[in-house]
């Protein structure tokens, strides 16, 4: 069973619809007993880091996530669910979960590309550069583009945790991978066929950076 963590963040139901699109049944829940029964867990969402962490702590989901990852089960982070798996977020100056060492940082105010000032938030379609193969990106074209909408980006301390990067006036980490955890700043559920392929691959993945 695929479980989607409900932690009062936005955009969670769109992930459920995408899973239904690829024929995968799922539940949306903040009940740790139901989450324990899942074979795969997705941690998506949009919103503010401070509010999200407050809800996770209230429901003890932050501690549950640490236990789940330690058990070796596959976890997929998306957008806000990627940012708050790090130690700290500059958004709301928030102490976060710490599944991956590092911080989530705000884009600089003046991002320039080809002489043009770029808008923040970064919103739209961009490609990613993968630094190694990973089962979750199997059969995804290197030329594929994915949908982003964010003002903050993950900055892991360990380069080994960086699976992919994206350029938007600067090069930033857009995909993290560590053992049975993979997380992405973009929204696979809003990224057409390549995004659905990622979700399909995740649902078949048993964990591990192969």
| CATH classification of the domain holding 152 | 3.40.50.880
Q: Looking at residue 118, what is its pLDDT?
A: 87
- Is residue 102 situated within a structural domain? yes
Gyration radius from the chain CA atoms: 16
Query: Measured in Å, how far apart are the chain's first and last C-alpha atoms?
Result: 23
Q: What is the pLDDT of residue 209?
A: 54
Supply the pTM of this predicted model: 0.96
- Of residues 2 and 9, the one with the higher pLDDT is 2
Phi (first) and psi of residue 132, to 5 degrees: -160, 165
Report the domain count for the chain: 1
> Within a domain: residue 118?
yes
Asked if the structure places residue 85 within a domain, the reply is yes
Pick the closest to residue 80 from 131, 45, 120 (CA basis): 45
Is residue 54 domain-resident? yes
110 or 67, which is more confident: 67
Residue 153 lies in a domain: yes
- Percent of the chain beyond pLDDT 70? 99
pLDDT of 210 > 50? The answer is no
Please compute the mean of the pLDDT values over residues 144-171 and round it to a whole number.
Answer: 96
For the segment 125-144, the average pLDDT, to the nearest whole number, is 97
List active site positions: 79, 187, 189
In a domain, 210, yes or no: no
Average pLDDT across the chain, whole number: 95
Q: Is the pLDDT at 201 greater than 70, yes or no?
A: yes
Q: Averaged over 171-178, what is the pLDDT? A: 97
- Determine the pLDDT at residue 144: 98
Query: By C-alpha distance, which of 95, 53, 197 is closest to 136?
Result: 197
| 132 is a domain residue | yes
Q: Do residues 85 and 77 touch, judged by C-beta distance below 8 A? A: yes
Residue 47 lies in a domain: yes
* Residue 205 CA: distances (Å) to CA of 52, 63, 144: 27, 23, 21
Residues of the domain holding 41: 2-204
- pLDDT (mean) for 75-91: 97
DSSP letters spanning 143-208: T-EEEEEESEEEEES-GGGEEEEEESSSEEEEEEEETTEEEESSBGGGSHHHHHHHHHHHHH--SS
Q: What integer pLDDT is reported at residue 8 of this predicted model?
A: 84
pLDDT of residue 9: 85
């Amino acid at each position: 069973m695929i479980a989607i963590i409900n932690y009062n963040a936005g955009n969670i139901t769109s992930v459920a619809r995408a899973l239904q699109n690829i024929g995968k049944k799922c539940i949306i829940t903040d009940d740790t007993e139901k989450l324990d029964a899942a074979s795969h867990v997705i941690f998506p969402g949009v919103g503010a880091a401070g509010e999200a962490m407050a809800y996770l702590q209230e429901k003890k989901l932050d501690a549950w996530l640490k236990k789940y990852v330690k058990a070796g089960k596959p976890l997929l982070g998306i957008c806000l669910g990627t940012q708050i798996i790090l130690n700290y977020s500059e958004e709301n100056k928030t102490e976060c979960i710490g599944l991956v060492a590092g911080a989530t940082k705000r884009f600089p105010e003046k991002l320039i590309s080809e002489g043009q000032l770029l808008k923040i938030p970064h919103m739209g379609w961009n490609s990613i550069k993968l630094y190694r193969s990973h089962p979750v990106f199997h059969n995804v074209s290197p030329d594929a583009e994915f949908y982003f909408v964010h003002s903050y980006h993950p900055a892991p301390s360990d380069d080994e945790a960086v699976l992919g990067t994206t350029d938007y006036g600067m090069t930033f980490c857009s995909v993290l991978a560590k053992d049975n955890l993979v997380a992405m700043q973009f929204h696979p559920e809003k990224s057409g066929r390549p995004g659905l392929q990622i979700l399909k691959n995740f649902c078949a993945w048993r964990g591990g950076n192969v």
